[in-house]
Amino acid sequence: MRELARPLRLAPGARVAVVAPSGPVPEERLQAGLDVLRAWDLDPVVAPHVLDRHGTFDYLAGTDADRAADLQAAWCDPSGDAVLCARGGYGVQRMTDLLDWEAMRAAGPKVFVGFSDITALHEAFATRLGLVTLHGPMAAGTDFLKNARAQEHLRATLFAPETVRVIASGGRPLVPGRARGVTLGGCLCLLAAELGTAHARPRARGGLLCLEDVGEETYRLDRYLTQLLRAGWLDGVGGVLLGSWHACEPYAGLRPMLADRLGGLGVPVVEDFGFGHCEGALTVPFGVTAELDADAATLTLDRPALR
């Protein structure tokens, strides 16, 4: 696994597009998120269909074609410096194949932020565009709106990435040790669902794999991990970082399954690393070379996430 190209950091006055590739966005949360971005001296621009709701499938923010058009137009806009997702939910996999990846590659690099269902786009941006992306809070997300740690860590990553080269979570080792590799990952169910698709990496070899999920039964998380194991996708992975498991079984019950499925990999595994669907979620860049110290629960980036 190779390190990916790093986009430019943001500066005051940067123009950032807000898109909704997945589920519908509550207008009041969107407006609150825009206020936060403006307070950061950014110039947020809302894509045309962000507040849409699909006429038949009310779990989608408008039609697949419109969501794809919003993302592509935002990415290809030469005046834009970043694309921020408004929220997750479900829907990215329905629209990813509608994007013109050649045109997006020709448009050049810019900052991309999101998590949850956006995992599928993190994979696609890595394989199709070769770009570092940020697994972090979204513009209309509750954590982004109400949690100072989540806001400040994302803001530092965007504007002063050299100040957050060491990401210290306060977590603990599930399997002790140190490992080096290129960061990747996201929502476990999405990584399993992406197996065999045109936009997914064929394996996580040489990577530091970040995993989290939300609202899943333990047996289903077991199934996703087992699928990745059986497919050989985890062969050669360098280390694993476990984030949040919000609305899953209490962690004391979930932990033995994670130890059973991941302990046999023979690599360091750190738990409770503080990213994903949790209060105060940390921003973790994907596509950068880093060192994981499971005992100290730190991830140290070789270089800042953004140039």
Q: What is the pLDDT of residue 186?
A: 98
Other CB atoms within a 10 A radius of the CB of residue 91 amount to: 24
Q: What is the pLDDT of residue 169?
A: 87
Q: Which residues neighbour 234 within 8 Å (Cβ) at sequence distance 6 or greater?
A: 203, 204, 209, 228, 265
All residue ranges of the chain with pLDDT < 70 are none
pLDDT digits (tens, 9 = 90+) for 87-126: 999 999 999 999 999 999 999 999 999 999 999 999 999 9
Whether 244 is catalytic is no
pLDDT digits (tens, 9 = 90+) for 35-70: 999 999 999 999 999 999 999 999 999 999 999 999
Number of residues written out for the chain: 307
Q: Is residue 137 within 8 Å of 144, Cβ to Cβ?
A: yes
Name the residue among 159, 164, 82 with its Cα closest to residue 125: 82
Percent of the chain whose predicted confidence (pLDDT) is above 70: 100
Residue 26 tokens read as 């509550």
Q: What pTM was estimated for this model as a whole?
A: 0.97
Whether 279 is catalytic is no
Pick the catalytic residue from 22, 135, 194, 212: 212
Q: What is the pLDDT of residue 287?
A: 98
Pick the catalytic residue from 22, 54, 116, 194: 116
Cα separation, 285 vs 283, in Å, equals 7
Q: Is residue 269 within 8 Å of 242, Cβ to Cβ?
A: yes
Pick the catalytic residue from 49, 135, 199, 277: 277
Q: Which residues neighbour 46 within 8 Å (Cβ) at sequence distance 6 or greater?
A: 17, 18, 30, 34
Cα separation, 194 vs 198, in Å, equals 9
Q: What is the pLDDT of residue 1?
A: 87
Whether 116 is catalytic is yes
